[in-house]
Structures are given as C-alpha cells and as structure tokens.
Structure 1
C-alpha cells in the first residue's frame, strides 16, 4: 500500500517492486502482476502504477512484451552500467516530482495574488 510519507506513490511502488526483483521473490522471466492488480495491491491509480513500472523499464529491470505483459528481465541480459541507468531513472523521477511540486507552488501563488482591497491596478 502506498503510504503518505511525502515520497510520491509511484516511487514507493517502484522501490517495492525493485526490492522484490533484487530479493528474488520476482525471479527473472517472472511476469509482473497486471497494472490493475498492482493498482489494487498498492491502492493506487493505474497511472501511478504505470509510472512505477516505467521507472523499472528505464532501469532495465523489467521488459514489456506486446500483448503478453511485463516480465522481470534476466540480469545477464540487462544493459551494461545498470547502476548508471538506475541513477538516471532516479534523477528523471526526481525532476518529474520537482516539476509537479513547482507547478503546485506556482498555482498557489497565482491564486493568492488576487487584488488587495484599497489598491488600484495600473
């Protein structure tokens, strides 16, 4: 279940699935549960689950097969420099999170800077 920790839900889900893959409970070649099943398991929206799986794809931990599903990749067939790819994926996720947070701040500023009584606009 996604917890209210301040960390985005998609990162929490990606972290949990990554731990399962690295811990061996999701073995190479094993299918991930469907997006709907993961959404139910983590009590999250489909889009949040898709973002989490996308992170794992970028890291090379899972691979999608059209019409079949998403499967844990074989560690021997993962791209070289897996840690670098993982770091890039984490940086992308952090930038995306910061973009969302910045948009919220800008939106709050825009709504809070309404005209104040007694001031004229020029």
Structure 2
C-alpha cells in the first residue's frame, strides 16, 4: 500500500511503527499528546485518536487515562522486519546451544 492510498490515520500508525523499527521509539517511551500529533501531521485530533486505537488494537501501544500513550515493550518484536526477527531467533538459538554446551562441559569435568 503506497502512502497515497493510505488514510491519514494509517499513515500516522505506520510512522509510529517505522519509528519503533528504526529504534527511535523504544519500549515504554511516551508518545506525544494527541494535540501535538495532530499538529505534527496536520490532521484533526480524531484522526490521531483513530491511529492510536489501531496501534492499541495491534498491541503496539498502551494508554493510561490522563497520562498518555506509551510504546509496549513487546512492540519491538511486533514491528520488526522478517530479517530482524530471523536474526533474533538465531541469536536465541546460539545462546541456548552455548548454555547446553556449558552444561555438557561441566558434566564432563566432574
């Protein structure tokens, strides 16, 4: 879907996802207020609210009444591109194999 075919709320939501993917937003970072986002994207506050609702439904953000919206820790994995996800899985497998090897070496030394 190109930017031209996306609705304004979808562009805002995608921009937040992109900022997470690029590391500009991290888990528990606070998003700007609805008013600030509306001004930044030159849209109505309702459009921002719709984008935030989409991000909440996708598990990307969580909101606290009166405090704002925040990036979920798990959002990093949710928006990661397939290559990054594959690298993380490989890193986890290498760590698990290293731990198994350490245990085997400990047994051998006993």
Q: Is this a same-fold pair by TM over 0.5? A: yes
**Higher relative contact order, structure no. (Cα contacts within 8 Å, ≥ 6 residues apart):** 2
| Residue-by-residue CA offset, 1:30-64 (whole Å, 9 max, x unaligned) | 00000000000000100111101111101111000
Give ranges in structure 2 of 5+ residues lacking alignment.
80-110
Q: Secondary structure at the match of 1:5?
A: helix
TM value normalised by structure 1: 0.57
- Structure 1 runs (4+) deviating above 2 angstroms are none
Q: How many residues align?
A: 76
Aligned equivalent of 2:10: 11
TM-score of the pair, normalised by structure 2: 0.63
Deviation digits for residues 47-86 of structure 1 (CA, Å, limit 9, x no counterpart): 111101111101111000122110001118x8xxx58xxx
SS at the partner of 1:63?
A: strand
